[in-house]
Amino acid sequence: MAVGIFDSGLGGLTVLDAVQKHLPEMEFLYYADSAHAPYGVRDAEDIYQLTKSAVEDLWSRGCDLVILACNTASAAALRRMQEAGVPKGKRVLGVFVPLIEALTERQWGDNSPPREVAVKTVALFATPATVASRAFQRELAFRAIGVDVEAQACGGVVDAIEDGDMILAEALVRSHVEALKRKMPHPDAAILGCTHYPLLQQVFQDALGPEVAVYSQASLVADSLAHYLGRHPNMQGDGAGGFLTTGDPKRVSDRAAQFLRRQITFSKA
């Protein structure tokens, strides 16, 4: 039995690591579309087609449930895929939901009208494509009113992380936080809207200051997935776990080992 976890590259490994710790008995099939990474600089149609192809591949491998552990794919492709209809017995879910649940302190099944919440100003750090989609603001507006969101497109951060250049990645984060603070000097909260960013959560926190609540996705997604599978145990699938990539398996495996500090072996998708 395996749940599929999809990302354009290695960022989703932060989600995988968290859900494996939360659900140690569960098998996961991780799919990295490394040949086409990063998605954050692609247009919406390109992201949709690439995401759709990868998800369909995971479905064909027995993963009835696929998690888009990629904010860019969740922003640009998820709603369109769901509206187009998915095969019977299959599901595809994104990673915005757990963030918004945590930020607004309400469950996703709560369909009452939007209401005021404690957080009034939110800094959103994400890829250029996620920012351009305005998907986070749209979903938040269904649940809360009176929240001012200032988005900062963090160009170059994902590329630096994927290349293993954490010094450059940290410098870019500090630069992007400074750019955000020029527009919103004192946010109540910050959303790390990319699954690569938890690797730099402390850098974001230090640059923002201790008074800013920083929301990172990995643990929130893990909790949400555990609750979902508890309600839908039939969605655990019958496929095998493992690691797949559309890129060079050796190179991706080496990067993944640096990423999670443990050996991971990818096979060609």
Contact between 136 and 192 (Cβ < 8 Å): no
Closest CA to 221 of 114, 47, 83, 68: 68
**Would you call 154 a catalytic residue per the annotation?**
no
Contact between 13 and 256 (Cβ < 8 Å): yes
**Would you call 70 a catalytic residue per the annotation?**
yes
Q: Which residues of 28-56 are buried (b: 16+ CB within 10 A; e: fewer)?
A: bbbbbbbebbbbbbbeeeebbebbbebbb
Residue of 10, 70, 77, 151 marked catalytic: 70
d(CA 221, CA 15) in angstroms, rounded, equals 7
Strands 144-145 and 189-192: unpaired
Residue of 67, 153, 194, 235 marked catalytic: 194
Three-state secondary structure readout of 136-151: HHHHHHCCEECCEEEE
Residue 7's identity, in one-letter code, is D
Contact between 194 and 229 (Cβ < 8 Å): no
As annotated, the active-site residues are 70, 194
